[in-house]
Amino acid sequence: KVRAQPAFKNTPIVMATSRTGDRHRQEADRLGATDYLGKPVQPQQLIDTVASLLGKVTKN
């Protein structure tokens, strides 16, 4: 529902979950997740993911 709001249409959304199977990744894609991280998430992995996504947003 976040993506349905115009103000958040291009906001990166990172999903962090312990469910890492293909079915769950596909569901995250369907729901509009920009990226998908399996738990436990390493701090540097989260930092790198957010930095990458913010770089993409600021370039657009």
Q: pLDDT 10s per residue in the chain (60 long)?
A: 788 899 998 899 999 999 999 999 999 999 989 999 999 999 999 999 999 999 876 665
Determine, yes or no, domain membership for 41. yes
Residue 12 — φ and ψ, nearest 5°?
A: -65, 135
Determine, yes or no, domain membership for 60. no
Determine, yes or no, domain membership for 40. yes
Determine, yes or no, domain membership for 38. yes
Determine, yes or no, domain membership for 1. no
Taken in order 26, 32, 34, 40, the sign of the CA dihedral is: negative
Q: Is 32 left (phi over 0), alpha (psi -120 to 50) or beta?
A: left
Determine, yes or no, domain membership for 58. no
Determine, yes or no, domain membership for 45. yes
For the entire predicted model, the pTM comes to 0.76
Question: What residue numbers bound the domain in which 18 lies?
Answer: 6-50
Helix, strand, or coil (residue 56) = helix
Q: Across the chain, how many H-helices and E-strands are there?
A: 2, 2
